[in-house]
Amino acid sequence: MYNSKIIGLGHYVPENVVTNDDLSKVMDTNDAWIQERTGIKERRHVVKGDGDTTTTMGVKAAKIAIERAGIDKDDIDFIVFATLSPDYYFPGPGVLVQRDLGIKTVGALDVRNQCSGFVYGISVADQYIKSGMYKNVLVIGSELHSHGLDMTTRGRSVSVIFGDGAGAAVLSRAEDNDTGILSTHLHSEGQHAEELSLIAPGMGKRWVTDIIEEADPNDESYFPYMNGQFVFKNAVVRFSEVIMEGLQVNNLEVSDIDMLVPHQANLRISQFIQKKFKLNDDQVFNNIMKYGNTTAASIPIALTEAWEQGKVKKGDLVVLAAFGSGFTWGSVIIKW
């Protein structure tokens, strides 16, 4: 049995900064209202026509991660791409990354677990490496939300939250079995799937032909829906559970955590978990204030920034945790 570790990290966000005041010009909202409920001050949005897509942002993040890993792109044995906003309905962006990076014809897997997507992707990569099937796996989380949001007062409760960006990690076979990914823990509760969802287009209820035929400007089924309070209440419970699950499996205590990198869903959720676990500000990394919620990209962006700032160091116990649409949630326990 092998062990896996993260040997390279990278992230990319569009240059276009959209502040809360900018949003107040297109919808009935204001900076104080948004910050009070989410902690978000600004986010990044792609500018139409600038060439940024979910795939190209993922490629840019991946190039940085591969370079920092100190390997060649052809050393990559497998690609895992997590997103809820693919360039095309099909094929998924994994194969587009393989193409655009000019990597040999390795396998490419798309993960559709939204906010938990990167955690799920890390788990998949970890299992492949542990089994000995692959040595180097590229895991990407990338999202382009801005073009699919209802940027009017009608959609303000959701649209003010999300931003665009990408993060990537290279996982590799570890020579030292005492470091790297100690364990991953994944869960789902599909009975609440519709509480945070985007229904159309889809084969089940609202397909493209329906939308075109009806041409209903008031049809909201192709905009994201979120039952905010219900999601918040479930998130704080599941975050706590899955973090504790990971610690207990490894005979660790909360006091052993050097850095918790939570999915950047809402600053209030992160603050709730921090207070519950009695962690100080140096033990939790948040950047939702400047990027918003980038779903599958949020953890790799945050983890990359934490590492770049020297807040994740060799020997540290790092915990990744996410909760989101599905409902899905998970955690990753890492000895850096």
Contacts of residue 150, defined as CB under 8 A and 6 or more positions apart, other chains included, come to 158, 159, 220, 223
Q: Which residue is catalytic, options 263, 266, 286, 287?
A: 263
Render the burial of 285-304: b for 16+ CB within 10 Å, e for the rest. Answer: bbbbebbbbbbbbbbbbbbb
- C-alpha–C-alpha distance, residues 307 and 202, integer Å: 39
Nearest to 299 by CA among 323, 280, 325: 323
Instruction: Please say if 263 is a catalytic residue.
Output: yes
φ/ψ (deg, to 5) at 25: -85, -15
136 is catalytic: no
**Separation CA 140–CA 297 (nearest Å):** 8
- Which residue bears the tokens 């949020």? 298
Spatial contact of 115 and 324, defined as CB atoms under 8 Å apart: yes
Per-residue tokens: 265: 């869903």
Distance of CA 138 to the CA centre of its chain: 15
List 113, 136, 286, 293, catalytic entry: 293
Q: Which helix (H) or strand (E) holds 320?
A: strand 317-324
Q: Kindly name the residue from 3, 115, 145, 234 that is annotated as catalytic.
A: 115
Known catalytic residues?
115, 263, 293
